[in-house]
Amino acid sequence: MANTKSAEKAARQSTVHRARNDALTSQLRSAIRKATLALKAGKQEDAAAALSDATPIIDSMVNKGIIHRNKAARHKSRLTKQVRALSK
């Protein structure tokens, strides 16, 4: 239980921030999952489209501080590598 006004406000803010972060993280995972499922299905066009949709979402999560920039780069790199391997 918060003892001061500022601690009460911080507790309120943390619940709002957590809800926002959870929603954004879910959006990120869904975008990555869509690309991954298209890759596993062997659909090169769908995978490329899902990758192009996921890339700005991944970048925006970095700007919002949801994930680290290296993690974003790793996701984009691995997905791109898989899409290119599928097209060969």
Domains (ranges, CATH) in the chain?
A: 5-87 (1.20.58.110)
Q: Is the dihedral of CA 31, 34, 37, 41 positive or negative?
A: negative
On the question of pLDDT at 20 being above 80, the answer is: yes
**CA distances from residue 5 to 13, 16, 18, 50, 63 in whole angstroms, order as listed:** 12, 17, 20, 46, 30
What percent of the chain stands above pLDDT 70?
100
| Confidence at 45, pLDDT banded by 50, 70, 90 | very high
Q: How far apart are CA 25 and CA 69, in angstroms?
A: 14
Report, as an integer, the average pLDDT of 15-37.
97
pLDDT number for residue 88: 76
Report, as an integer, the average pLDDT of 25-31.
98
CB-CB contact of 2 with 8 (8 Å): yes
pLDDT of 67-81, one tens digit each? Answer: 999 999 999 999 999
Whole-prediction pTM: 0.87
